[in-house]
Amino acid sequence: MYAQWFKKAIIYQIFVDRFSRGVEADKNPTDCWNTQSKCGGTLTGVIERLPYLEELGINTIWLTPINKTDSSHGYNIIDHYEVDPDFGSKDILHELINKAHERGIQMIMDFVPNHVYEQNPIFTEARDDRQSPYRKWFYFRDDNSYEAFYQYPSLPKLNLDYGPARDYIVDAAKYWLDFGFDGFRIDHVFGPSHDFWKHFRKELKESHPDAPLIGEAWGFEGVGKLRLHDLHTVNIRGKYLKYLVNAQDSAMKEYYGELDGTLDFRFKVLARRFIAESGDTNRMEKFDKALKKHYAYFPKDFFLPSFLDNHDMNRFLFEAGGDDQKLKDAATVQFAQDQPPVIYYGDEIAMSQEKYIGDPTSGSHNQVRRMYPWWIPRYDEMFYFYKDLIKARKDKQKTPDLESEAIEVSDQTPY
């Protein structure tokens, strides 16, 4: 098994544009959030908040994409080899990685191989010149339309089974590992073929065997409640019937032997079903039973980093009706599992939102991508609760012979 260090990872996901503008700038309140444009978060801001993250106790940072882009989220990449100037520079990124490493914090890069942004010069040349050597890098049709990520024309899909395009992406991944990143969270792994992922793994493991390759094997919300009209959305390798049962687990397991693991979207679904949305007095017992069945489906050497929420979904606390106890219950179970836990920035201070992201008046995903409110004193009970959870997990990892068991919690559990 590669990337053994990742077993002990305690991951903090940072949405770079919304995390920190820098200690001084963060003293000034801002209401910037309901926009696809940038709100001022920077890599320097992350550097200046390393002491906070070290105090919390995490040992791994996952940065959302830092490549050149024109959006706050960064998943529409203009250049895979450049740092977005609004976030900083390569020198500042080097400083961040080095200072994080000095504190014992590993750095995970969010890598986007499936598609590029329509302003990417490789794509614009291919679109405007039918004789361009880049034409085969994409899936153009006779009328000059093309395949795109979820049919968004601004995100043309790369043909990663075509050698030059494949090599470009593989070389970009090698570049950032050589630069100093310790591994990847890989966006939308459903897009490229399995042949591509086998090649990707072989190439990267030859030079960076300890770099974890963790995929996002997810393409639809509510996979745990699959409905017939979802099938056209699922469309994973065309195996519709297989995914009628245990859809999310089947989808993730397909990448065993190609990636080191996948983000555990099933854990998220179960946590919401049995804790956030449930008032059942036996919910923790049922949650534990469902988790054991879930984990039994996967090989022991396949990472399943667990999370309660991320930048693409309603925050857990919002789904739980603002009930801090339910967040504590879910986090307690999360940190009791063998798999690496992920904290989405702000969960440790009980950040929430005002409306569902599906509400047409909500601002969509920006609801869960608000600026971290550094201007408000937030060293509250939830912060210390998470800090204690992290410390307890680290203490337990010092005795690796112990098998972890889900911790039974209730409203009367003392903290």
Q: Indicate which residues carry an active-site annotation.
A: 187, 216
- Cα-only R_g, the chain: 21
Long-range contacts of the stretch 247-250 (C-beta < 8 A, 24+): 247/223, 248/218, 248/223, 248/224, 249/294, 249/297, 249/298
- Amino acid identity of residue 199, one-letter, is H
Pairing of strands 79-83, 67-68: antiparallel
Separation of alpha carbons 192 and 415, rounded Å: 45
187: its two tokens:
């966006």
Q: What phi and psi, each to the nearest 5 degrees, are found at residue 60?
A: -145, 135
Say which residue the tokens 């906070």 belong to. 52
Helix (H, G, I), strand (E, B) or coil at 407: coil
Q: DSSP for 97-136?
A: HHHHHHTT-EEEEEE--SB--TT-HHHHHHHH-TT-TTGG
403: its two tokens:
């098998």
Q: Which of 316, 381, 324, 320 is nearest to 343 (CA)?
A: 316
Separation of alpha carbons 199 and 196, rounded Å: 5
Q: DSSP for 385-402?
A: HHHHHHHHHHHHHTSTTS
- Amino acid identity of residue 165, one-letter, is A
